[in-house]
Amino acid sequence: TYVVTDNCIRCKYTDCVEVCPVDCFYEGENFLVIHPDECIDCGVCEPECPAEAIKPDTEPGLDKWLKINADFSTQWPNITKKKDPLPEAEEMDGIEGKYEKYFS
Ligand code: SF4
Ligand code: F3S
């Protein structure tokens, strides 16, 4: 599966949802996640994200993000249409450790 990772937080550009052939993105207030059981590993969303937040879970160190994607994708609503990024997207893009900073 592919996973949405830290840099989506407080950016949420949503370009990713337009290209997913199986509509497996789910939307929280501050970031999106991918449902790991629905993702077919096509990889087309990865280059679409302006924040480079989407990664294959085969990359090392993504265990935490796999769990976050798995957990929230069962709680959040599906999103299939692109919308405006969050107002703070540009200034938040590239800030490290957003999950720790804002959600713990
Ligand atoms: Fe959707 Fe393909 Fe991205 Fe998985 S890898 S979330 S199926 S676009
Ligand atoms: Fe997030 Fe990138 Fe999609 S910032 S909403 S994963 S396009």
Question: Residue 60 and residue 90: Cα distance in Å, rounded?
Answer: 27
pLDDT digits (tens, 9 = 90+) for 14-51: 999 999 999 999 999 999 999 999 999 999 999 999 99
Which residues face 25 on adjacent strands?
A: 34
pLDDT single digits (tens) 61-84: 999 999 999 999 999 999 999 999
Q: Where are the domains of the chain?
A: 2-82
- Give the whole-angstrom CA distance, residue 8 versus residue 89: 9
pLDDT recorded at residue 100? 96
- How far apart (Å, rounded) are the C-alpha atoms in residues 14 and 73? 15
| Binding-site residues, ligand 1, Cβ < 6 A | 2, 19-20, 22, 24, 34, 39-45
Mutate to test the pocket of ligand 1, among 3, 41, 42 (most ligand atoms within 8 A of CB): 42
Topology, domain 2-82: Alpha-Beta Plaits (3.30.70)
